[in-house]
Amino acid sequence: MAADLSPIEKAKFAASKRAVDFVTDGMKVGLGTGSTAAWMVRCLADRVREEGLKLTCVATSTRTADLARSLGLTVVALEEARWLDLTIDGADEADGQLSLIKGGGAALLQEKIVATASDRMIVIADAAKQVHALGAFPLPVEVIPFGWIATARLIEEHLAAQDVLGHDIRLRMNGDRPLRTDENNYILDLHLKRIGNPRALALMLNQIAGVVENGLFIDICDTLVLGHPDGRVEVIADDGARSEGRVDIAASANIFSDLGD
Annotated catalytic sites, by residue? 111
Strands 139-143 and 211-214: antiparallel
Distance between start and end Cα atoms, the chain: 13
What distance in Å separates the CA atoms of residue 80 and residue 120, rounded to the nearest whole number?
19
- For the chain, the helix, strand and coil percentages under 3-state DSSP, each to the nearest 5: 35, 25, 40
Spatial CB neighbours of 134, under 8 Å, sequence gap ≥ 6: 93, 95, 99, 100, 101, 194, 195, 198, 216
The conformation of residue 84, written as its DSSP 8-state character, comes to B
3-state secondary structure of 114: helix
